[in-house]
Structure formats: structure tokens, C-alpha cells
């Protein structure tokens, strides 16, 4: 049994912010029904296609463990069918452009009034209220609006985009938490509250540690590259000097003395020039040279083993190809094999949330409309001739 067994979610999202949310909930056991436009579906199925007659890998990584139902929401009969599904669902989630749900006749107010048991969750670039709520957003827009881009980069350079999906997937994470909280409130109070997620808000929340300085002095945080609280430079080169042959480590207190001993610089132990974080930051280039002259003699994995055995927090800089074969991740089922009817077997990322002893099996994303007839027959009681009529009329 999984925690969300018995929860049904109508997923009207596409691309990444919404699908990343519903995928997490599907992994936790919810029945997620992805509602897609007939003949098209989530545009990332085909916009980012890398193989003929196959959905794109972009689509695959955000839509496992779901069902797909095609439904034309521009058609009154399609909206009527969705209304019938709402009666037996717990959540509806959308990340359409502002105003689109109103055009379908499926506004938050309509759903809250007619289906008070249903959590209405929405992800927008700037939320559903405020002077900027009409604006659209994408990942890099959210990173800029939420402040992350202003803090990323080197002092003399421009703001930099980060490839980690803090705008899209970060919003999805926040929305998943909001949905779980809303379901709990519904169970306690009898009515479901709505969930309003702004991508800008989500990025801002993830950036809170960078606000410590600004809260103190009111000034914008400077871009500092690889400088961190314990070191002006936290990434050190290793053999054989490839693009990702680097290691990072924490060099506080006892760790610093251990590093001096390992690197053949025991004579510097206790030296006032290096005996505090502040003094080491003042001599950042010298500290970097001391450590990097040692790390260059070893591979990044050798460094990890040496420092790990001493209890010093460290890690090699792992690239995406290395991670696919990482022994630890394979053990934790974070890298799994999935069999897809179009692609055959491929590697995918597993669930980062482990709940008790429950096994979370990653299943392939559905083909477009794969479960339409099943849902119409089993959930809504449609007969075969009625389903054929819906197809003929472009409803499904």
C-alpha cells in the first residue's frame, strides 16, 4: 500500500511545473489522470521529440505512473465529461496561461461551488492574485523574477541561469505539499481549500539563505561564483583533469588540519594565517593552492574515499552520465530501468521519497489517450457505441 492509494487527481498540466507535481503524487500512489487534447496531447510529447514515432525523453521524465485520457475541453460534451469525473475525484490541477480555465467554464469559483470536495490547485508564473498575475512565465523567467539569477555567476560577469529546475520543478514540489495539506484540511473540515502556487514565490522561497545578508544591510547580494561560507573557492581539480574532474569539500576546524597533514603541509597547522574561516577567506588564493596541489595528484573518487574515511564532508563533481551508473543511487533505486512500448528499455530517475517499506515501481508514461476508453467505461459507465460516437464527434 502507498500513502495516496485511493486519491484521484485530474491533471490538466503540461511541460514541467505541473507534471513534476503530479508525478510525485503518482509515485506516492495517487491515480493521476492526465487530461490531454485529442490528437496533440502535452506539447512536450512532440515539440522535443528526439526519436521518430516516440514521445520525447522530456515528456518521459515527468509523466511516469500516470494515465492519459484525451478530452476536448473546447467542446461542451468534453467539459460535461470532465464534470462527471470531478464528482469522483479529489484534486484538479492546472498550469494553463491565466484565464484559460475560465474559457473552458472551469474556473476555481465554479469548481469550488459545484465540487466542494475537490482541491483546485493552480501553478502560474506569478500566482492568481497581484498586479503581475496576468503575466506568463517559463523556467528562466521564474529564476530571474525570483532573484536566483541575480545571485548566480561570478562578480564581474552577468547573471547566470542554473540548469536545475528550481522554477518549474521547484513550483511542482511546493504544489505537491500544498495539495497534501489541502487534502488534510478537507478531511478535517469537510471542504477542500484551493492551492495557489506562483513560480516566482517558489524560487524566492528556495533563495531564502541568500537573503541573510540583504535582511541585515538592505543591499543586493553579490555574485561570488564558487565561494561558499567556509571557503572562497570550494571546487578543486583532480586527475585526469577532464571537464568534471573536480571535488568539493568542507574545510572547517579539524577538517582543515587534516587537509594540511594529508597535503604535506603539517608545518602550517596552528599557523595564525590560516587558523580561522575568516583568515582563510582573506588568503583564499593561498588556501586554494594548498588544497589543489594535493587534489591534482589524485582522482576525484580517491579524494572522496580519503576524506570520507576521515569524516570530512566531500563529493566528487558527478556528471549526468556517471550518475546513471552510480552504485549508491542504483541501490536506492534512484536510477531505474523502465520498459516503454515505443522506446523499449531506458533508464529513468526514481522516486526521491521513500515511505516506510512501500516499494515504488516506476511505470512508463502513458501513450496519448491510452486509458481513455478504460476511464469512460469503468469510471463513467459509457457503452462502446457511445465511446465511438465521442470519437467521431472529436470529443475524445
42 included as an active-site residue: no
DSSP type of residue 128: S
DSSP type of residue 299: B
Q: Give the rounded distance of the alpha carbon of 350 from its chain centre.
A: 12
Q: Are strands 314-316 and 246-249 parallel, antiparallel or unpaired?
A: antiparallel
Cβ pair 60, 348 in contact under 8 A? yes
| Order of all β-strands in the sheet with 246-249 | 235-237, 246-249, 314-316
Task: Choose the catalytic residue: 55, 90, 168, 245.
Answer: 168
Q: Give the rounded distance of the alpha carbon of 126 from its chain centre.
A: 18
Strand partners, 228: 231
Cβ pair 10, 71 in contact under 8 A? no
Strand partners, 338: 346
Distance CA 264, CA 10 (A): 62
C-beta neighbour count of 200 within 10 angstroms: 25
- Which segments of the chain are extended strands (E)? 8-12, 31-36, 67-70, 91-94, 119-124, 195-198, 235-237, 246-249, 314-316, 335-340, 344-349
- The set of residues, in sequence order, having a beta carbon less than 8 Å from that of 381 and lying 6+ positions away, is none
CA 71-72-74 angle, to 5 degrees, is: 150
Of the candidates 77, 367, 67, 393, the residue with the CA atom closest to the CA atom of residue 385: 393
Residues with a catalytic annotation lie at: 168
Amino acid at each position: 500500500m502507498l500513502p495516496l492509494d485511493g486519491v484521484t487527481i485530474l491533471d490538466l498540466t503540461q511541460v514541467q511545473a505541473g507534471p513534476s507535481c503530479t508525478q510525485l503524487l503518482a509515485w506516492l500512489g495517487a491515480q493521476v489522470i492526465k487530461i490531454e487534447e485529442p490528437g496533440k496531447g502535452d506539447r512536450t510529447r512532440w515539440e522535443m521529440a528526439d526519436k521518430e514515432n516516440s514521445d520525447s525523453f522530456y515528456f518521459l521524465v515527468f509523466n511516469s505512473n500516470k494515465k492519459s485520457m484525451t478530452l476536448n475541453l473546447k467542446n461542451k460534451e468534453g467539459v460535461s465529461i470532465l464534470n462527471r469525473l470531478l464528482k469522483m475525484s479529489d484534486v484538479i490541477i492546472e498550469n494553463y496561461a491565466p484565464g484559460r480555465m475560465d474559457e473552458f467554464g472551469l474556473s476555481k469559483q465554479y469548481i469550488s461551488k459545484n465540487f466542494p470536495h475537490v482541491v483546485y490547485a493552480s501553478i502560474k508564473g506569478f500566482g492568481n492574485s497581484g498586479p503581475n498575475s496576468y503575466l506568463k512565465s517559463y523556467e528562466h523567467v521564474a529564476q530571474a523574477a525570483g532573484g536566483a539569477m541575480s545571485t548566480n555567476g561570478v562578480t564581474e560577469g552577468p547573471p547566470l541561469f542554473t540548469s536545475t529546475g528550481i522554477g518549474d520543478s521547484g513550483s511542482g514540489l511546493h504544489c505537491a505539499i500544498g495539495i497534501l495539506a489541502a487534502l488534510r484540511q478537507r478531511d478535517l473540515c469537510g471542504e477542500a481549500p484551493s492551492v495557489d502556487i506562483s513560480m516566482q514565490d517558489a524560487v524566492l522561497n528556495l533563495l531564502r539563505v541568500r537573503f541573510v545578508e540583504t535582511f541585515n544591510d538592505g543591499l543586493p547580494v553579490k555574485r561570488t561564483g564558487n565561494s561558499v561560507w567556509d571557503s572562497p573557492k570550494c571546487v578543486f581539480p583532480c586527475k585526469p583533469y577532464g571537464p568534471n574532474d573536480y571535488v568539493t569539500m568542507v574545510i572547517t576546524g579539524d577538517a582543515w588540519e587534516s587537509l594540511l597533514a594529508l597535503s604535506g603541509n603539517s608545518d602550517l597547522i596552528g599557523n595564525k594565517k590560516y587558523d580561522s574561516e575568516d583568515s582563510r577567506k582573506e588568503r583564499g588564493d593561498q588556501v586554494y593552492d594548498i588544497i589543489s596541489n594535493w587534489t591534482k595528484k589524485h582522482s576525484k573518487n580517491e579524494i572522496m574515499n580519503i576524506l570520507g574515511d576521515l569524516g570530512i564532508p566531500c563529493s566528487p563533481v558527478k556528471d549526468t552520465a556517471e550518475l546513471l551508473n552510480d552504485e549508491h543511487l542504483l541501490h536506492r533505486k534512484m536510477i531505474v530501468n523502465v520498459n516503454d512500448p515505443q522506446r523499449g528499455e531506458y533508464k529513468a530517475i526514481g522516486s526521491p521519497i521513500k515511505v516506510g517499506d512501500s516499494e515504488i515501481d516506476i511505470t512508463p508514461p502513458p501513450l496519448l489517450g491510452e486509458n481513455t476508453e478504460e476511464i469512460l467505461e469503468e469510471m463513467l459507465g459509457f457503452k462502446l457505441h457511445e465511446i465511438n460516437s465521442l470519437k467521431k464527434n472529436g470529443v475524445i
